[in-house]
Amino acid sequence: MKITRIRLWHVPLTSHAAYYMSDGKTCDTVETVVIGVDTDTGLTGWGEVCPIPHYLPAYARGVAPTLAELAPVLIGADPVGPEALMAQADRWLQGHVYAKSALDMALWDLTGQVAGLPLYTLLGGRRSADMPLYHSITCIAPDDMARIAREALNQGMTQFQVKLGASGDWQTDAERLRAVRAAVGDGPLVYGDWNCGATSLDATRVGRAVEHLDVMLEQPCPTFEECARVRAATGLPMKMDELAQDTASLLQAHQMGLMDAVALKLSKFGGLSATRRARDLCLHLGAKMCIEDTWGSDLTTAALLHLGAATEPGRVMNVCDLSGYVGPRLAPDGPVRKAGRIAPPEGVGLGVSPDLDLLGTPDLILD
């Protein structure tokens, strides 16, 4: 089998509700990138990456030039067995892992289609029927966040990520955690996420104000050293997110005692292949994992669900139904949440493919 052509589309995804984070960051309409890797057999592998430029050093319009640079390696190559071709791509062009994430996803999709198997089988075999989701709560007034948490709880959600830092004062952040903790009662997992937007002083004041509560803190500050100060001063469990992007950063976070939990986002590591390697390291290090991506729709969501379903269930803290937060759906028949949980698609490969009418004419064709 040979790759004959790569097509690329830019599709704006709009959040059902504008989403507020620390430092004035918002997530309203974000462009996602869809790629179709066509082959001489007539099969097409699909990939998606949706970077958030103010969240990580990645942007949607960076994907097309990256793939154009890689075209001499890709066109004519055998796409089956993704890691071999991804290694060639890495030798040709270092870095640009977010763009490579969409490519790697499409190669896995093709490999699954050729094998006639869903990706969770190729990634090691299905370990769970479905997986728990977390519900991310936009950073607004504490009472409104508590209401959102209660509504999600009533629909079966048991894990709540409380966005912090948007109002710029530590007291309201402490109130946000208290309000959501009280709204969902004992049992559900509640964690406060600053997205790097706090100083260690403010995050420590918040943590100490709620230290009697069952809460976890997520990536309060932009550096490991600052996060370690917060961990030491509050005694609260810590989840890493933005800083977790490769094996070296995972090892450092572990050595500094910061990895009770960690977010493994596909596009930060470079796709399913690289994130599977990170997953294996996290199994060794003892971290609970959130398997997800920065943002995206049905292709990204399907990919992360396959990796989640092929991971030891006791170590999957949660996954994310990104496609449920945005519109339009790229694949309207993609998985949806049911009672706080979600299952991977059952079809071969990714098990979902995009609505071609929605995509329209490609913005780029490489052949």
Residue ranges binding Mg ion (CB under 5 A):
193, 241
CA distance 89 to 94: 8
Residue 116, both tokens: 């006639």
- Tell me how far CA of residue 181 lies from CA of 20, 154, 214, in angstroms: 20, 15, 8
Residue entry with tokens 């997986």: 131
102 three-class SS? helix
- Tell me how far CA of residue 157 lies from CA of 40, 288, 291, in angstroms: 44, 18, 17
CA distance 259 to 345: 30
315-342 burial, b if ≥16 CB within 10 A, otherwise e? ebbbbbbbbbbbeebbbeebbebeebbb
72 three-class SS? helix
CA distance 174 to 150: 18
CA distance 266 to 274: 8
Q: Which residue is nearest to Mg ion (CB)?
A: 241
Of 301, 308, 325, the residue nearest 105 (C-alpha): 301
Of 242, 134, 234, the residue nearest 180 (C-alpha): 134
CA distance 185 to 57: 38
Residue 26, both tokens: 């918002």
Taking the least distance from each CB to Mg ion, the nearer of 56 and 75 is 56
- CB of 144 closer than 8 Å to CB of 20: no
Residues with catalytic function: 163, 265
CB of 252 to Mg ion, least distance (A): 18
Taking the least distance from each CB to Mg ion, the nearer of 35 and 319 is 319
- Tell me how far CA of residue 39 lies from CA of 35, 36, 77, 106, 234, in angstroms: 13, 10, 9, 11, 54
CA distance 120 to 280: 15
